[in-house]
Amino acid sequence: MNYDDILHLPHPVSTRHPQMPLLNRAAQFSPFAALPLEQIGPGTEEEQEERQETMLE
């Protein structure tokens, strides 16, 4: 069997699971809003430095 054998076959449709609406499918791949650097919080830089130091030891 090769790709040409399956290329024009009909798309299988599940009888158990309803098809997800197009808007919901698109939402799965939408970008997220990352926190700006100012909103990360105090002490984060120090915590990262401590973790890096312990990893190097």
What is the model's pLDDT at position 45? Answer: 74
Q: Map out the domains of the chain as residue ranges.
A: 6-55
pLDDT grade for 18, boundaries at 50, 70 and 90: very high
Cα(49)–Cα(12) distance, integer angstroms: 52
Q: Does residue 50 register a pLDDT over 70?
A: yes
> Please, which contacts does 14-17 make with residues 24 or more away whose CB atoms are closer than 8 Å?
none
Range list of β-strands (E), the chain? none
The model's pLDDT over 26-47, given as tens digits with 9 standing for 90+, comes to 766 767 777 776 666 556 677 7
